Amino acid sequence: MAEKPVLSVVIPMMDEEEGIPVLFDRLIPILKNTRRSFEVVCVNDGSRDETLAVLREHQARHPFIVIVDLSRNFGKEAALTAGLMQSIGDAVIPLDADLQDPPEIIVEMLDKWDKGAEVVLAVRAKRETDTALKRATANAFYSIINSISEITIPPNAGDFRLMDRAVIEALKQLPERSRFNKGIFAWLGFKTVTVEYERPSREVGTTKWNYRKLWNFALDGITSFSSAPLRIWSYIGVMIAGCALLFGFVVIFKVLILGHRDVPGYASLMTVLLFSNGIVLIGLGVIGEYLSRIFIETKKRPLVIIRKVHRVDQDV
């Protein structure tokens, strides 16, 4: 029987055919230098190119590579979760395939894990490789979610971190389908230390994220870890009702005390109606976001469908 790995590196992949050789040429020597048994769990998230074929070629030369082949594209959050569930190492590290999370940090992570840390969080010291707009929106997102959520999600930290097996076992107890992994990792707790690194530019290929996906990702994060948007609309409703009541008193005062009987103009009436209807529709939209996630959770569909798990010793 093959030796149980001490370290598992989990890498979600979608259309990474060109980058896989560069990734393994850089990652494998680092893992071997740790002098620990290890596995590399690669999750093929519905790639449309030859990602699976290239992975199989590398697996033939490197038996420690495990390939989790999903039936279609389920998204990075789901693919990463599938890889974490398949990992069996005592320590598990999620890693992006684009090498923007430098694997050299793994050595420092393992050192802090050896000293008793249960989570070693990699924090970006700088985000110079991101555009000014992306940095601004990211900072705004973390400011908002940390101000309305009961947990604190570390800014400038992605999925790149080391997690002890105890953390992974706790993660398996969270069955939710709408997953925001950064928030889930923070919610789990455990003894956490940080390491800083400077994030380089992507070496091969282009990012799969666009602003629409980032917006949906932000909505998942906010709705998963805060009910504040729902409460806010209660306060807004009370405020608008109070303003309407106050305006009613003003009208009564003008008619009964001052004797003014002017009829409000069409423009002001339409403005009030449109504003009120807009507020109602926005509130319904917020409720709809939460309701859609309740709908997804109640169906209890599996997070992913795995076509096959390729291991050198056995294919599942």
pLDDT interval class at 212 (50, 70, 90) = low
Of residues 39 and 273, the one with the higher pLDDT is: 39
What is the structure's pLDDT at 10?
92
Q: What is the pLDDT of residues 17-43, one digit of tens each?
A: 888 888 898 899 999 888 888 899 999
User: How many alpha carbons fall within 13 Å on the CB side of residue 289?
Assistant: 20
What is the structure's pLDDT at 45?
87
Buried b (16+ CB within 10 A) or exposed e, 253-275: eeeeeeeeeeeeeeeeeeeeeee
Domain ranges of the chain: 7-226+303-310, 228-299
What mean pLDDT is predicted for residues 258-280? 63
CB atoms within 10 A of CB 73: 17
What mean pLDDT is predicted for residues 252-276? 62
| CA atoms of 216 and 221, how far apart (whole Å) | 9
What mean pLDDT is predicted for residues 71-91? 87
Buried b (16+ CB within 10 A) or exposed e, 186-224: bbbeeebeebebebeeeeeeeeeeeeeeeeebbbbbbbb
Please answer whether residues 208 and 15 qualify as being in contact, where contact means their C-beta atoms are separated by less than 8 angstroms. yes
Of residues 142 and 189, the one with the higher pLDDT is: 189
| CA atoms of 123 and 101, how far apart (whole Å) | 10
Q: What CATH topology corresponds to 7-226+303-310?
A: Spore Coat Polysaccharide Biosynthesis Protein SpsA; Chain A (3.90.550)
Please answer whether residues 92 and 162 qualify as being in contact, where contact means their C-beta atoms are separated by less than 8 angstroms. yes
pTM beyond 0.95: the answer is no
- Find the farthest-apart pair of alpha carbons in the chain and give their distance in angstroms, rounded: 96
What is the structure's pLDDT at 94?
92
What is the structure's pLDDT at 177?
76
Tokens of 47: 């790639």
| CA atoms of 256 and 244, how far apart (whole Å) | 18
For the cut 70, the answer to whether the pLDDT of residue 171 exceeds it is: yes
Phi, psi of 154, rounded to the nearest 5 degrees: -60, 125
Q: What is the pLDDT of residues 178-203, one digit of tens each?
A: 777 787 888 888 888 888 887 766 65
